C-alpha cells in the first residue's frame, strides 16, 4: 500500500482507456507513415548518437539507385494531406511526451509533499533525496523512473524504452523539416504506441495510490482499469481527432 501525505486528488472519470489508434486509422496511417526511422544517419552535417534498435525506413529508395522512383516518393511526401498528417502526428507525439514527463517528474515529487504553510508547499526533502534522487544523482528524470520501476508501476524495459521515445521527440521538435521533405524519414508509429502504453501504466499506478489513500471511497469498489485521469481523456480526444483527419 502506498501512502502519500497530504496528497491532492487527481481528477478522475470514466472514459475509454487511451489505446492504439483504431485499426482502420492505423492501417491508413501505415500507408502514410510506414517503416521505422534510421536514427543513426548523419543529421545537418553531424553525427548524433541514436538508439540502436531503430532502423532505416525500408520503403525509401535512394536517389542514386532510382532517380525516377525517388522523385515520385518525394512528390507524394510533399502532398498537402501528407504534410498535414506529419505535422499533426508531431504535435500528438509532443503532447504525449510532455504528459509522460509530468507523470514522472512532478508526480513522484508530489508523492513526498507534506503540507502547506505561509511559504508554500512543503516536502520531505530528505526522504525524496534518499528514496528517489540517489537512484541516479545526475538525472532526476531517470531517478524518478527507477523509483517507478521499484514501485512496480512500469518495467525496467519500459523505462529504458523512454530513451528512444525521447530521442524521437527531440528530432520531431528540432528537425521536423526533414520528416516533411525527406523520403528517408518518417515519424514512428511504433514509438508513439509504446509511449501511450507507458503513459497509461504510470497513470494507472497513480490512480492506485489515490485509491489506497481513500480518494475513491465515495464510489465504492473502483476498478482501476476504468479510472481515467482528465489528462488522458483529453489525449484520447486528440487521438480521435487525429485519426478522423486521416479519414478525410
> What are the tens digits of pLDDT across the range 92-118?
999 999 999 999 999 999 999 998 888
**What is the band of 9 on the pLDDT scale with cuts at 50, 70, 90?**
very low
Average pLDDT over residues 81-89: 95
> What are the tens digits of pLDDT across the range 155-206?
999 999 999 999 999 999 999 999 999 988 999 999 999 999 999 999 999 9
Are 86 and 202 in contact by the 8 Å Cβ rule? The answer is no
Flag whether 156 is in a domain.
Answer: yes
Which letter does DSSP use for residue 156 in this model? Answer: H
Flag whether 201 is in a domain.
Answer: yes
State the number of CA atoms in the 13 A half-sphere of 87 facing the CB: 10
Q: Mean pLDDT, the chain, as a whole number?
A: 80
- Structural domain harbouring 135: 26-246
Flag whether 8 is in a domain.
Answer: no
Beta bridge partners of 43: 46
Q: What is the pLDDT of residue 247?
A: 81
Q: What is the pTM of this model?
A: 0.74
> What are the tens digits of pLDDT across the range 202-238?
999 999 999 888 888 888 888 888 888 999 999 999 9
Flag whether 7 is in a domain.
Answer: no
Lowest-pLDDT range, 53-57, 73-77, 129-133, 229-233? 53-57
Flag whether 21 is in a domain.
Answer: no
Read off the C-alpha cell for 74: 518525394
Flag whether 9 is in a domain.
Answer: no
Read off the C-alpha cell for 12: 478522475
Count of structural domains within the chain: 1
Amino acid at each position: 500500500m502506498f501512502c502519500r501525505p497530504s496528497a491532492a486528488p487527481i481528477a478522475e472519470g470514466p472514459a475509454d482507456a487511451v489505446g492504439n489508434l483504431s485499426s482502420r486509422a492505423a492501417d491508413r496511417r501505415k500507408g502514410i507513415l510506414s517503416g521505422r526511422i534510421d536514427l543513426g544517419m548523419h543529421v545537418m552535417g553531424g553525427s548524433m548518437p541514436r538508439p540502436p534498435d531503430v532502423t532505416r525506413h525500408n520503403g525509401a529508395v535512394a536517389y542514386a539507385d532510382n532517380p525516377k522512383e525517388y522523385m515520385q516518393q518525394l512528390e507524394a511526401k510533399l502532398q498537402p494531406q501528407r504534410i498535414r498528417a506529419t505535422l499533426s502526428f508531431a504535435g500528438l507525439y509532443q503532447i504525449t511526451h510532455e504528459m509522460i514527463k509530468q507523470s514522472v517528474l512532478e508526480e513522484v515529487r508530489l508523492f513526498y509533499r507534506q503540507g502547506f504553510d505561509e511559504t508554500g508547499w512543503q516536502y520531505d526533502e530528505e526522504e525524496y533525496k534518499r528514496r528517489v534522487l540517489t537512484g541516479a544523482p545526475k538525472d532526476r528524470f531517470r531517478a524518478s523512473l527507477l523509483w517507478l520501476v521499484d514501485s512496480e508501476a512500469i518495467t525496467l524495459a519500459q523505462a529504458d524504452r523512454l530513451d528512444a521515445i525521447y530521442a524521437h521527440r527531440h528530432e520531431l521538435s528540432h528537425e521536423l523539416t526533414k520528416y516533411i521533405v525527406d523520403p528517408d524519414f518518417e515519424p514512428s508509429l511504433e514509438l508513439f504506441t509504446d509511449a501511450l502504453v507507458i503513459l497509461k501504466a504510470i497513470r494507472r499506478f497513480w490512480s492506485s495510490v489515490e485509491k489506497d489513500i481513500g480518494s475513491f471511497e465515495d464510489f465504492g469498489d473502483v476498478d482501476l482499469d476504468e479510472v481515467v485521469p482528465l489528462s488522458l481523456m483529453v489525449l484520447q480526444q486528440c487521438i480521435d481527432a487525429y485519426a478522423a483527419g486521416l479519414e478525410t
